[in-house]
Structure 1
Amino acid sequence: MVVKQPRGNLPYEASSFVGRTLEVASARRWLSGTRLLTLSGPGGVGKTRLALRMAAKVGSAFRDGVWLVELATLEEPDLLVQAVAMTLGIRDWSSRPTREVLLDYLTDKQILLVLDNCEHLIDACANFVQAVLRVAPELRVLATSRQSLQVQGEQLLLVPPLSLPDSDRVPLPDELDQYEAITLLSQRAGAGGRRFILTPDTIPLAVRLCRRLDGIPLAIELAAVRLRTLSIEQLVAGLEHHHHLLAGGSCTALPRHQTLRATIDWSFELCLPAERQLWARTSVFAGEFDIDGVESVCSGDGIAPADVVDLVENLVDKSILTRSDPPYSRRARYHMLETIRQYGQERLRAAGEEQRVRQRHCDWYQRLAEQAAQDWFGPNQEQWVTRLRSEHTNLRTAIEFCLAERTRAQSGLRIAGALWCYWMPCGVLSEGRQWIDRLLPLAPEPTRARGTALWVYSWAASHQGEPAASHASAEQCRALAEQLGDAQMAAYGLQVAGLSALSSGDLAGTRAFCAEAWRRHLALGQMASPAVMALMQQGFAASLQGDFDQAVEYAEECVSITRAHGEQWTRSWGLVVLGLALWRRGDYQQAIPPLRESIAIKRTLHDLFGLGMATEFLAWSLTCTGRHEDAARLFGALERIWPLVGVPLMGIQPLAEHHEENEANTRAALGGKAFDTAFGKVAGMGPYQALGQVLGTGASEQGFSPKRDGQLWSPLTCRERDAALLIAEGLSNKAIAARLVITQRSAEALVERILVKLGVTSRTQVVAWVFERQDTSRTLLLRDGV
């Protein structure tokens, strides 16, 4: 039985959810009656937690999932559309505006889009929401904002503080669970196994405390942390003292924003001096960050590098920082709630450190980007993709700083140019081009950084079908290389000139430019992923020209070089071209293994465009070898991929014609009803899950025979084999645990045993191993007449 995984990206709740019973219970009614529901209220009142709980409550009603777009750290309104597109998995390789591609994709989708923290991008959010609601009739938007979006049809829900007892009475012990604020205080104070029990003597103090905090959840959470070291009497006295000072001597109730401010002020003052410094300095990070970043950006001038880990742990204990251990990384990650982060930024500014710390933040992410580019040609690409994806918001922030500080424009070019290893493999072309486009006029000096940015821009433009823009940048790169006498830059200039020719349909020009580029790369000893891609590019052009034998030679050389270095991304493209060339030469069966291997790599690297190309050519090969049902299912999976890419098959007409011909042949062979059944088996799935269902369980669908397959899957046990198949479906450790009904820790141990037994170091290698066994198993099935 195929179990469809829930679509979306809602995070798991790290702590218990308290109260809001009426709002959560009414979520379905509100969202069925309005297409835009905005949760509004002051900072710290719990808008985000309520939105996430409401979204989870109604998630099953949305066929295409619930998707959270976090906007707190997004400073550029122009990047709003790209942020939404990336959240939805859209990797736009077309020349069309990302907004247009996104709106087209959403037209028939039944999605709940959660836009969190809209207030600083209010105009951009309003314009986008208005446009998307106009074209997507089944889409709903749940927004959080400190102010209304002012969009027609918007329903505004003011999020109140948590409920409190009336001012004239103290509740009895058995009445406490009626009051949300008291419940939250009790739960947070007693978290982690700590003993905290309200008694008849302390209930009045708890009520007084929560009233003083106006029932604001964030203020209560910060205060509750102090109950680990202070008695409730001391806590109430300390808070009232700070509120008294803030009110200028008045003991009357303060406005809610002043209440929260006073609570955060007191939390800050109770920190040690080094903890205060670290709180302020870590506020320069956007979104999540890791210990390495904190040590590099925040140490010095009062913070010893050796003390950073302990200080970070202290801030986690005090609920200033929140720690997460994402399943995709072995690095712990940290983040701040936006209200806490904004307070830290104020303190950093007041200390006169903002400019210096932001420069250090920029320097750290420049080093990270350049290290990624330098280390890319090797076995660590999977880890780098994971790390760069998790640091995307910080990399944006670093580039934004370079744009604001014109003296740093060269640094901005170095970051944007080095990130070719993120823009291209992960399909973030439009954003990469946008940054380079804005930085080039600010850094006109003839430098290698400028040259790198020019060839990266040209490469991206050619893949997005903009030959004129690609050609112009290629020519500028070549001219700059000649001016500087930079042979490496000249080689890349020739290579992107070849790509420009390819996007113009000049296949002979492509081969000539890329051949010369490769000759120069070899002369320079330039073994880098984009350099070796010159072989693949020659092979692709040769295949389209009908020079199949030469295309196979180019592709095999590309695969051989990259395999020897443990490189994956360029190898996966070499395998794509090898599969295409073999298919066009009529070697249909031989085309299948390289294409399956390519798919295994591309799924791991999140190269959605390359995944589409490999899947296309594999579907054609299966059609031509008579495996029509599998081909039909792959054509169904392609329906999940190409809309997220923006343009199928690079818009190359001969390839589009092959697609139509092979799909028609498959339909004719199966018959319309059987084709539609196979095609529709992946309906409602995301692209990676769809491919996992088609390719990741091929042998098991026929039934696992210990006699026939036991030796084939050795040295894995049956349980380990099941986990390996789930890895091949692209599932995380958490998802594997859910599927096998075991704990996440057990799933992690299971995956680790698989890696050790197979003598491999990455999930990509496990996927390739599984695919190889499935191909062999399928051959045995056919041989045995199963």
Structure 2
Amino acid sequence: MHSTAVAAAVPLAQEATRLGVLIRAHRLRIGLTQQELADLSTISVRAIRDLEQGKARRPRPETLRLMADALRLGPRARASLEAAVQRGRATGAGWEQPPAPPTALHPMTGREAELAGLERELSSGAERLIHLVGLTGVGKTRLALAVAERLHAAGIPVLWHAFPGAAADHLGCAEGELAARVAVAVDELLAPASGVRQPGSGPGSGTAAGAAPSTPGAVDSLAELLGEQSVLLVLDGVPAGTARCDRLMGLLRACPGLRLLVTSDQPWEVPGERIFLLAPLEVPAAGVADTSAPAVRVFLDHVRRVRPEFAPTAADVERAAWVCRRLDGHPGALAAAASWLVVCDLPALCDSLGEDPLALLDHLGGRPGADGFRGVLHHRLDRLSPAVRGLLEALCDRAGEEFELAGVTALTGGGLAETGRLLRELLLSGVVRAAHEGGPSRFRVLGMVRAAATTRPRTAAAAAPATAA
């Protein structure tokens, strides 16, 4: 059958799948199976099947060239394929409606500046790989949900992939074939390098239990599905490890409209990665009882969920402000502390937190068998390099809560470059908070981290931080 006859055989009603019909007709014309075409073209069978079924409509130029060569197409037939690809790019991925992010269960408080910044960078495409990092429970998933909701409302499709153990403060993730394809492609992006990806089960947990491991070409298949359209892909709760930089960069190159938003405990440190450190909420200054402070608003909202009749007095507001300072404005810790008001009153809660700020936060650990939030913090400290752990322990031994860079430099005995590298690792780990307003930059070890550091073995570097630095 000549190329003109093949083109004429495509009904107008099937215009949306014209590319797939053309490929299948040319393959059958020369008597090839999908496997034989895959062998000749070096393209995966899955990619060929997806193209023929209309699931992928925007193959990359190299993919189209390899397939045309294997099908032995002339100039006119090649031009027909290219025209069909252009139609696919113009009509998008063919979804009946743009995929949407999960639905948040609770409103977000006190993250207006962070939300505006992330929305601006992702919607404009100024940043295409943003990595949202911070302590467990600091609100990374909730902020990612808010960003995804904003972009989806602006007409940008959102693909959401949650890893096992990710926060589940929302109504489910997308299911079905599209979600499964994203999960397989994500496995291919991350698993070979990190070695920590484990199959999950249930909605939103990644690959289904017992599913086969990722197959080569899954990332290419996803790239062909997304094409050039604007899409936000959210990877929530990524395990510790490093992405496959070559595959990650290849996906971003193949899909110029793709934006990637990642949430995890630590950055990847790959080219093009915009690290967005999410700190705890702002707390009122010592001696100030301000109900407009974000941390106080969050804490009182959680108190009202536990005790709807709660009408705070002036003394209650002062205690709430003290709780927020004691727990560093950490949203998850504030929610966990407020949950105890089912069995005690606010003064008793303050007394317990005054003795040990971590004693009531065990259920913040988030994993079966974990030894509570204290164990989560210990694990975070253990992941620090010995030199950085030594510096952290030395800072915890110092009197006072805040310190400046000059003081840390004097403590380590090193230069600005060495001290800056150590401080950067502490900041990215989330155990130290920075303040840059009103004079020289100031840094503070979180109170919960100080409490956790006193209950774990000390490192040799703590006794001689200058040598460690």
- TM bracket (short chain): 0.3 to 0.5
Report the structure number with the largest CA radius of gyration: 1
Between structures 1 and 2, the one with greater helix share: 1
Relative contact order, higher structure (CA 8 A, sep 6+):
2
Between structures 1 and 2, the one with greater strand share: 2
Give the TM-score normalised by the residue count of structure 1: 0.29
Give the TM-score normalised by the residue count of structure 2: 0.47
